[in-house]
Structure 1
Amino acid sequence: MSQEFDFIVVGAGMVGAAVGYGLAREGRRVLMLDGEDTDFRAAKANFGLVWAHGKGHGQPHYQRLSIAAVKDWPKFAFQLESESGMPVAYEQKGGLHFCLSEKEFNDRAARMSTWHAQLPELPPSTRMVDRGELERLLPTARLGNDVFGASFGSLDGHVNPLRLLAAMQAAFCRHGGALRARQTVTAIKPLKDGGFEVMVGSHATRAERVLISAGLGSAVLGPMVGLEVPIKPQRGQLLVTERLAPLLPLPASGLRQTSEGTVMIGVTQEDVGFDLQTTSDAAVRMARKATRILPDLAKARLVRQWSCLRIMTPDGAPVYASSSEYPGADIVTCHSGVTLASFHAGAYARALASGSPSNTFDIFHHDRFDVQKVA
């Protein structure tokens, strides 16, 4: 069988679509295989934050990566909209983490101070704002009595995640990429003469290289090419309201108003295995916190509650790894696909295309978990 592609990307979600798009922009022949609509898809319930604010606490390499990705987002969004012809509703006006007591405010200030101290070479990108300044930042919002203040991240923003995914897939195809839907990969076979054979049922396609970006499915596919990455599901539930008049001009952790006017409320972090049910307890907790921040939300009608399964590594940071056993096979997994999309479509895709990503991203190799286990 002739080799049709340079790369096969297994998984066309937020991560796979970004990398595939970047590889196609580099002129590589890329096939991207998407699974069934019923697959576990983290992209279905992504909150849409483009966020560096506090991310990577205790992990300076992840912090540095997140900040760099967020700084690249304005250029990335412009490029993507131009090449896809689709608006993604990206805004970068800063973002908030609300504090509902003086203690929460002081604890948050200490955490942000520690976070900034991890990368002393970078200027601070967050600051604490008291209630008075917060009211000036949010002139259309009536804050609840419990709101003491917030931390404000100047680099942060938000995007419509479903438009983002559609735009990356569209731009990928416009650059000559081949996207095949409902193609569940059943096997990845290294070939003796080099390259890989990727099986979808009884159909085989060959490529010189393969990238596994299949979310929770990566746990099954990775070991086929010597890449056994420890990942687990984490359920996240969300609520969304009817469309409202402009209320919240800045996105916040767990609370944002979309460009369409709906307000998204979330997000839970539940270790319940592969259970995708929604629960009334979670809805009550999320709604109570949201109305403590913005009491007027109590008048809004909730129109939907749903859940997804995030892909979590033991330390919460991404994994970027090349197979030492089967050169040409790579794996990427993370739970921050929106924020890191600019990196995946940019620096990471360029490194893959050049054939030399392994040394560049050693700090994110999954071998780090073996070291932690021994220690």
Structure 2
Amino acid sequence: MLGGGIVGCSIAFGLARAGLAVTVLDEGDVAFRTSRGSFGLIWTQSKGVGCPDYHFLSRRSADAWQELADELSMRSGVDTGFRRPGGVSLYTDEPELERRIALCGQLAAEAGDLGFDYQVLRRPELDALVPGLGPRVIAGVYTRYDGDANPLALMRALNGSMQAMGVRYVPQAKAVFKSAAPNAFAVSAGGDEYRAPKVVLAAGVANKALATQVGMNVPVRPQRGQIIITERARQFLSLPTWIIRQMSEGGFLIGDSKEEVGFDERTSAAVLQDIARRAVLSFPFLASLRIVRTWGALRVMSPDGLPIYDQSERCPGAFVVTCHSGVTLTATHAYHVAPAIARGALVGLDSFSTRRFDVQTVA
């Protein structure tokens, strides 16, 4: 396993559950680690428009999250902070609200037998669900499938659980392929060499370069997101919103910037000001809270925004797992993708193959 963030550890955990001997090579916190900048949402209400398989993948993961949280707690003793009260997106203008309603309507039409329920809540019905809203908020869209977790606690729980199950975790180990052939891989990391019949690339934005060495095209790019965290306040926000959520210790996480700035993880005053301005429009009381920390991190984005799950045709036994929704998809990775890798075939995941990026010649 190359990569020890939330995605890599969730796959390693699942492989260990399937009975495989697993070594995780983790470059460490010097890497562009998406996990440390995660907002922690388990979110389905905007996932899969135009790609029902992605919506199904996200919903299946959200449905399995309670089972995962319980198992991780049992194995590691760490509470992930998981809750699933549903989630709400808030809107301050009608055009934006209408776009969300249209999106949810399309999801419902494409969901088939799975179904997709959503509620458009106007005020004061919305006020009964979400206290403290400002006068600019006109409505919200609520779905019962969503929730959140503490991403740092999730990282600890996954790492602790997989090691308790016998996974070898090697930090400060940047991996370089020494050789790659069908079901025979040699990797150098941290001054040692590792050999295995299977290798999983779960190294985030580093997957693009690593994948070329096993004959795969994985065209991922970094996308920066910035986050604000406030001082602790009295608990009152009992469900997450798309850009604001209150953590169990009382602080508020505020975010949702999307910036194409390459590998620049730094924060910027202009973006943080815009994030804060939009947050205060929704919840005016936030203006009275002190900001205690801001940070930026890089998401892993594919050209179409969908996950990538594939096995190399040139070097069978080499798999890639890449997505930008690692927290939402943690349960799917552990309970479905990892067992498929253990069996040697990603059955049912054809929609997420790298083949969709092949250039087609039109006569």
Q: TM-score, normalised by structure 1?
A: 0.94
Percent identity of the aligned residues?
38
Structure 1 CA distance for aligned equivalents of residues 180 and 265 of structure 2: 34
Pick aligned residue for 1:368 from 353, 356, 360 = 356
Kindly indicate whether the alpha-carbon contact (under 8 Å) linking 1:81 and 1:167 is maintained by their aligned counterparts in 2.
Answer: yes
Pick aligned residue for 1:250 from 239, 245, 253 = 239
1:59 aligns with 2:51: yes
1:280 aligns with 2:269: yes
1:161 aligns with 2:151: yes
Q: Secondary structure of the residue that 1:90 maps to in structure 2?
A: coil
Q: Secondary structure of the residue that 1:167 maps to in structure 2?
A: helix
Structure 1 CA distance for aligned equivalents of residues 190 and 281 of structure 2: 51
Kindly indicate whether the alpha-carbon contact (under 8 Å) linking 2:24 and 2:169 is maintained by their aligned counterparts in 1.
Answer: yes
Report the CA distance between 1:374 and its aligned residue: 6.2
Structure 2 CA distance for aligned equivalents of residues 169 and 261 of structure 1: 25
* Partner residue, 1:171: 161
Report the CA distance between 1:28 and its aligned residue: 0.8
1:267 aligns with 2:256: yes
* Partner residue, 1:93: 85
CA-to-aligned-CA distance 1:39-88 (integer Å, 9 cap, x gap): 10101110000111121122211111111111111111111111111111
Kindly indicate whether the alpha-carbon contact (under 8 Å) linking 1:196 and 1:206 is maintained by their aligned counterparts in 2.
Answer: yes
Structure 2 CA distance for aligned equivalents of residues 258 and 202 of structure 1: 40
Kindly indicate whether the alpha-carbon contact (under 8 Å) linking 1:188 and 1:225 is maintained by their aligned counterparts in 2.
Answer: no
CA-to-aligned-CA distance 1:245-304 (integer Å, 9 cap, x gap): 113211010110001100000021000111112111111111111011010000000011
Kindly indicate whether the alpha-carbon contact (under 8 Å) linking 2:4 and 2:28 is maintained by their aligned counterparts in 1.
Answer: no
Kindly indicate whether the alpha-carbon contact (under 8 Å) linking 1:188 and 1:221 is maintained by their aligned counterparts in 2.
Answer: no
Alignment of 1:116-135 (within 5 A): 116-135=108-127
* Partner residue, 2:4: 12
Structure 2 CA distance for aligned equivalents of residues 166 and 293 of structure 1: 32
Q: Secondary structure of the residue that 2:89 maps to in structure 1?
A: strand
* Partner residue, 2:294: 305
Structure 2 CA distance for aligned equivalents of residues 343 and 228 of structure 1: 23
* Partner residue, 1:49: 41
* Partner residue, 2:228: 239
Structure 2 CA distance for aligned equivalents of residues 98 and 341 of structure 1: 26
Structure 2 CA distance for aligned equivalents of residues 243 and 374 of structure 1: 58
Residues 1:162 and 1:23: Cα distance change in structure 2 (over 3 Å): same
Stretch of structure 1 that moved more, 124-133 or 332-341: 124-133
**Structure 1: which amino acid aligns with 2:37?**
A
Please identify runs of 4+ aligned residues in structure 1 that moved more than 4 A: 371-375
Residues 1:372 and 1:285: Cα distance change in structure 2 (over 3 Å): farther
Kindly indicate whether the alpha-carbon contact (under 8 Å) linking 1:189 and 1:225 is maintained by their aligned counterparts in 2.
Answer: no
- For structure 1, list consecutive stretches of 5 or more residues without a partner in the other structure: 1-8
CA-to-aligned-CA distance 1:209-234 (integer Å, 9 cap, x gap): 10010011111111111122001110
- What's the Cα RMSD here? 1.5
Structure 2 CA distance for aligned equivalents of residues 318 and 346 of structure 1: 16
Kindly indicate whether the alpha-carbon contact (under 8 Å) linking 1:34 and 1:184 is maintained by their aligned counterparts in 2.
Answer: yes
1:339 aligns with 2:293: no
CA-to-aligned-CA distance 1:134-179 (integer Å, 9 cap, x gap): 11112xx221111111100101000000000110010000111100
Structure 1 CA distance for aligned equivalents of residues 191 and 90 of structure 2: 53
Q: Secondary structure of the residue that 1:29 maps to in structure 2?
A: coil
Alignment of 1:107-122 (within 5 A): 107-122=99-114
1:182 aligns with 2:172: yes
* Partner residue, 2:184: 195
Report the CA distance between 1:356 and its aligned residue: 2.0
Kindly indicate whether the alpha-carbon contact (under 8 Å) linking 2:120 and 2:142 is maintained by their aligned counterparts in 1.
Answer: yes
Structure 2 CA distance for aligned equivalents of residues 17 and 201 of structure 1: 19
Residues 1:323 and 1:100: Cα distance change in structure 2 (over 3 Å): same
Report the CA distance between 1:203 and its aligned residue: 2.2
Report the CA distance between 1:103 and its aligned residue: 3.0
Structure 2 CA distance for aligned equivalents of residues 281 and 25 of structure 1: 46
Q: TM-score, normalised by structure 2?
A: 0.97
Stretch of structure 1 that moved more, 87-96 or 114-123: 114-123
Stretch of structure 1 that moved more, 242-251 or 340-349: 242-251
Structure 2 CA distance for aligned equivalents of residues 137 and 238 of structure 1: 24
- For structure 2, list consecutive stretches of 5 or more residues without a partner in the other structure: none
Q: Secondary structure of the residue that 2:196 maps to in structure 1?
A: strand
Paired residues, number: 363
* Partner residue, 1:5: none
* Partner residue, 1:151: 141
Structure 1 CA distance for aligned equivalents of residues 221 and 298 of structure 2: 9
Q: Secondary structure of the residue that 2:125 maps to in structure 1?
A: helix
**Structure 2: which amino acid aligns with 1:361?**
L
1:354 aligns with 2:354: no
* Partner residue, 2:217: 228
